[in-house]
């Protein structure tokens, strides 16, 4: 009896989701039925129903089914419960390709648009799979590499949008996954393409089932596993690319729908291929109808809200993933490294000073020529450049120190404020301050940002405590919370409120509006936090030995971790206020400091601070000069450099 109930659980649950979405849709259609009787003249309600409401419902059903089918194929082929078009960064790759081409060819449509989306998705997938293959397509490597590729694509797309701000609103809302329709063109063109790919997927049911036996087992039964896997991945990528081409990035439907039907009892491949699209169609339609009911006006993109569903699902799946703790390598410093430590610090300090001077005095003149700032222009130009360089210097110092603290606390060289979602918490805090206060000052923004950072850190480590703060578990929890918070910020930014647009610009990490007060505050906070970190360097050294050894040496583990996490939250909040949530300086600086041969916490802290300051000063100067007279935010410039570096580190990781 129990087995029979399990057998019918998937169709019942999928049907319930579809029925719930259709029920809300019928409510809207029923209200407009009287207007269908009008056959002539202009009836706004009738036109709205026929050319907006009904096409939007059809698009939601088709897109939801396609994304769910894509997620099911990816999870089966990669044998990874966390695989989906969103978590693997495939959708954002298509989005970047479309934004890039559409800015040059706004009228692009049809098969040309689909081809561009497919090319972008394929490029993103190739980068992710090439890295994850070295790690056996493990959940950790897949999701982390997918997140990195997604962040890089998002940063690149944001630069293109900000440099073409006349299209900012439309491209931003479309890229966030808007289902709004004005005709039947999109659903009519999407349906036959999705149907063809779905038919190919159902024809490959047997290869999908055999692929679960592993490479050796499938090959022994006559399946050319590499060709079969490649074909199924092409189908999944094409499904995701088509949806992104039509409506933008719809988050996490491809993750949630397959998990729902699998937990409801769908064990066979065929049943998952049947019921996952049904659940995905119902889930997306239900989400879209709920948005229209709660927030009418098409100001909230559906794709941003679906990410609010995916984050909790990812968190719920974490206990089912096998994770292992691993400490950072402890290499004894050689006599040569010890003798050259002062030389390294001296060279770093000289380099930072030279870079700061160059960032202030060297650049492009009004006519675009490269030149040193003439003395006659100092009074006019220096008040504009000095605060920006000072703020970038302070924020880089803070991020470098924060990244080093988090890497030593988690025992994982992949940890940073951006990866752990701490920056996203600070962003949400700033967003709350903007919407609570009419004109929040620096102190209010810092308090809200610090509270958001600390809340995220607390939730992550409460969730990871049972696993002994396993590095992989901590990182995946941070990614999940980051997705939830980013979705919330996206909803606020796309709400139509003028503060939403200001939030988008601030999130890009711009130093445009930094004044002397902000720059001085950034430098003072950097100095204070660096001093506090140096006072705690013994804790960092002992914690690296493990909890048992550290306790035997007299360290109180819980208070030490609490203080260091609180300090990390404050520093992240301060830096996020200046350069936004995506800089990756917190990742790059500790690695570069480690590459100099420095092993002791105090030495690494000082080196990471100097390197972080240098990186952000370079990023700010590059953003001001690379597209002169236009300016690109420093946070986006550093993200474009930091994401590839993180991919290189992940690829080389044993």
- Cα angle value 632/87/140 (rounded, 5°): 105
Contact 62, 197 (CB under 8 A): no
Q: Is the domain of 84 the same as that of 159?
A: yes
- Per the listing, tokens 């909890």 go with 547
Q: Is the domain of 392 the same as that of 505?
A: yes
Q: Is the domain of 85 the same as that of 162?
A: yes
Q: Is the domain of 74 the same as that of 15?
A: yes
Q: What is the dihedral of CA 510, 302, 177, 14, to 10 degrees?
A: 140
User: How far is it, in rounded angstroms, from Cα 441 to Cα 430?
Assistant: 11
Q: Is the domain of 413 the same as that of 537?
A: yes
Query: What is the domain count for the chain?
Result: 2
pLDDT for 191: 92
From 364, 344, 363, select the one nearest 355 (Cα to Cα).
363
The answer to the question of residue 328 being in a domain is no
Kindly give the residue spans of alpha helices, DSSP state H, lying in 163-184.
Answer: 168-175
- Per the listing, tokens 């490479």 go with 215
The answer to the question of residue 346 being in a domain is no
Structure tokens at 519: 């720059």
Q: For the purposes of burial, counting CB atoms within 10 Å of the CB of 553, is it exposed (0-12), middle (13-18) or buried (19 or more)?
A: exposed
The answer to the question of residue 324 being in a domain is no
Distances (CA, A) of 55 to 172, 380, 618: 21, 56, 49
Sort strands 362-364 and 370-372 into parallel, antiparallel or unpaired: antiparallel
Could you report the per-residue pLDDT of 50-97, keeping only the tens digit for each? 888 889 899 999 999 999 999 999 888 877 777 788 778 888 888 888
pLDDT for 472: 58
The answer to the question of residue 495 being in a domain is yes
Q: What is the pTM of this model?
A: 0.72
User: How far is it, in rounded angstroms, from Cα 189 to Cα 201?
Assistant: 19
Contact 396, 612 (CB under 8 A): yes
Structure tokens at 190: 């999407």
* Helix, strand or coil, per DSSP, at residue 86: coil
Q: How far is the first Cα of the chain from the last one, in angstroms, to the nearest whole number?
A: 47
The DSSP element (H or E) to which 420 belongs, if any, is none
**8-state DSSP, 417:** T
Contact partners, residue 114, CB within 8 Å, separation at least 6: 193, 241, 242, 245
The answer to the question of residue 341 being in a domain is no
Q: Is the domain of 377 the same as that of 278?
A: no
> Rounded to 5 degrees, what are φ and ψ at 331?
-105, 130
Q: Is the domain of 293 the same as that of 403?
A: no
Distances (CA, A) of 457 to 321, 469, 532: 20, 12, 19
- Per the listing, tokens 């890295």 go with 131
The DSSP element (H or E) to which 159 belongs, if any, is helix 139-162
Q: Is the domain of 374 the same as that of 271?
A: no
The DSSP secondary structure of 599-630, one letter per residue, reads -SHHHHHHHHHHHHHHHHHHHHHHHHHTTTTS
Structure tokens at 70: 């894509």
pLDDT for 59: 92
User: How far is it, in rounded angstroms, from Cα 535 to Cα 483?
Assistant: 34
Which residues is 363 bridged to in the sheet? 371
User: How far is it, in rounded angstroms, from Cα 533 to Cα 537?
Assistant: 6
Cis peptide before 108 (omega within 30 of 0): no
Q: Is the domain of 310 the same as that of 382?
A: no
The DSSP element (H or E) to which 370 belongs, if any, is strand 370-372
The DSSP secondary structure of 346-366, one letter per residue, reads HHHHHHHHHHHHHHHHEEE-T
Q: Which parts of the chain sit beneath pLDDT 50?
A: 1-5, 168, 322-337, 654
Distances (CA, A) of 515 to 304, 387, 392: 33, 6, 12
- Per the listing, tokens 């220096």 go with 382
The answer to the question of residue 327 being in a domain is no
User: How far is it, in rounded angstroms, from Cα 409 to Cα 403?
Assistant: 10
Total length of the chain: 654
**8-state DSSP, 298:** S
pLDDT for 2: 41
Structure tokens at 224: 């050319």
- Per the listing, tokens 């041969």 go with 597
User: How far is it, in rounded angstroms, from Cα 422 to Cα 576?
Assistant: 10
CATH number at residue 474: 1.10.3470.10
User: How far is it, in rounded angstroms, from Cα 255 to Cα 85?
Assistant: 8
Among 317, 332, 364, where does a domain finish? Answer: 317
Q: Is the domain of 502 the same as that of 545?
A: yes
From 399, 481, 375, 452, select the one nearest 147 (Cα to Cα).
481
Distances (CA, A) of 48 to 56, 191, 291: 11, 21, 17
User: How far is it, in rounded angstroms, from Cα 458 to Cα 425?
Assistant: 11
* Helix, strand or coil, per DSSP, at residue 519: helix
The answer to the question of residue 156 being in a domain is yes
User: How far is it, in rounded angstroms, from Cα 131 to Cα 135?
Assistant: 7
Q: How many CB atoms lie within 10 A of CB 652?
A: 9
Among 317, 339, 373, where does a domain finish? Answer: 317
Q: What number of helices (H) and strands (E) belong to the chain?
A: 28, 2
Structural domain boundaries, residue 366: 352-652
pLDDT for 329: 40
Q: Is the domain of 359 the same as that of 284?
A: no
Q: Is the domain of 372 the same as that of 512?
A: yes
* Helix, strand or coil, per DSSP, at residue 321: coil
Among 266, 291, 317, where does a domain finish? Answer: 317
pLDDT for 63: 92
The answer to the question of residue 326 being in a domain is no
Average per-residue pLDDT in the chain? 76
């Amino acid at each position: 009896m129990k087995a029979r109930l399990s057998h019918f659980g998937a169709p019942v649950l999928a049907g319930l989701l579809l029925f719930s979405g259709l029920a809300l849709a019928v409510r809207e259609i029923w209200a407009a039925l009287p207007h269908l009787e009008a056959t002539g003249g202009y009836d706004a309600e009738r036109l709205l129903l026929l050319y907006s409401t009904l096409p939007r419902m059809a698009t939601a059903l088709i897109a939801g089914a396609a994304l769910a089918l894509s997620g099911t194929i990816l999870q089966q082929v990669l044998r990874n419960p966390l695989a989906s078009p969103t978590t693997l960064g495939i959708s954002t790759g298509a989005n970047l390709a479309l934004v890039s081409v559409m800015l040059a060819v706004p009228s692009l449509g049809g098969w040309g648009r689909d081809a561009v989306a497919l090319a972008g998705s394929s490029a993103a997938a190739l980068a992710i799979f090439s890295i994850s293959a070295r790690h056996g397509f493990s959940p950790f490597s897949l999701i982390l590499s997918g997140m990195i590729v997604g962040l890089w694509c998002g940063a690149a797309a944001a630069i293109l949008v900000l440099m073409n701000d006349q299209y900012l609103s439309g491209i931003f809302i479309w890229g966030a996954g808007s289902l709004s329709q004005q005709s039947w063109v999109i659903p009519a063109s999407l349906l036959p393409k999705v149907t063809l790919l779905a038919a190919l997927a159902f024809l490959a049911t047997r290869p999908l089932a055999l692929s679960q036996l592993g490479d050796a087992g499938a090959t022994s039964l006559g399946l050319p596993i590499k060709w079969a896997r490649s074909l199924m991945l092409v189908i999944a990528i094409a499904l995701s690319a088509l949806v992104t081409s039509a409506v933008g990035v719809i988050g996490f439907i491809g993750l949630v729908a397959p998990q729902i039907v699998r937990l409801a009892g769908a064990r066979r491949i065929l049943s998952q291929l049947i019921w996952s699209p049904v659940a995905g169609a119902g889930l997306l339609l239900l989400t879209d109808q709920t948005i229209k009911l709660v927030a009418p006006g098409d100001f909230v993109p559906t794709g941003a809200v679906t990410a609010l569903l995916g984050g909790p699902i990812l968190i719920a799946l974490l206990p089912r993933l096998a994770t292992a703790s691993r400490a950072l390598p402890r290499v004894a410093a050689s006599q040569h490294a010890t003798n050259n430590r002062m030389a390294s610090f001296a060279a770093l300090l000289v380099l930072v000073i030279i870079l700061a001077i160059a960032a202030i005095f060297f650049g492009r003149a009004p006519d675009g020529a490269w030149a040193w700032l003439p003395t006659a222009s100092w009074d006019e130009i220096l008040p504009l450049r000095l605060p920006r360089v000072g703020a970038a210097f302070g924020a880089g110092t803070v991020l470098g120190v924060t990244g080093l603290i988090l890497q030593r606390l988690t025992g994982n060289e992949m940890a940073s404020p951006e990866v752990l979602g701490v920056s996203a918490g600070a962003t949400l805090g700033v967003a709350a301050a903007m919407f609570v206060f009419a004109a929040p000052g620096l102190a209010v923004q810092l308090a809200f940002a610090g509270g958001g950072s600390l809340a995220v850190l607390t939730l992550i480590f409460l969730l990871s405590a049972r696993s002994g703060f396993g590095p992989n578990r901590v990182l995946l929890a941070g990614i999940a919370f980051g997705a939830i918070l980013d979705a919330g910020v996206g909803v606020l930014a796309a709400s139509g409120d003028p503060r939403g647009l200001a939030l988008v610009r601030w999130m890009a990490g711009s130093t445009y509006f930094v004044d002397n007060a902000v720059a001085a505050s950034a430098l003072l906070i950097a100095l204070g936090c660096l001093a506090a970190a140096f006072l705690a360097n013994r804790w960092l050294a002992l914690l690296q030995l493990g909890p048992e050894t550290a306790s035997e040496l007299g360290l109180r583990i819980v208070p030490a971790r609490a203080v260091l996490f609180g300090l990390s939250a404050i520093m992240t909040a301060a830096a996020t206020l200046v350069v936004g949530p995506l800089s990756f300086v917190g990742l790059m600086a500790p690695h570069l400091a480690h590459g100099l041969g420095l092993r002791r916490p105090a030495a690494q802290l000082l080196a990471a601070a100097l390197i972080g300051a240098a990186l952000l000063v370079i990023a700010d100067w590059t953003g001001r000069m690379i597209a002169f007279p236009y300016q690109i935010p420093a946070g986006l410039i550093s993200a474009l450099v930091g994401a590839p570096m993180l991919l290189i580190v992940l690829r080389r990781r044993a």
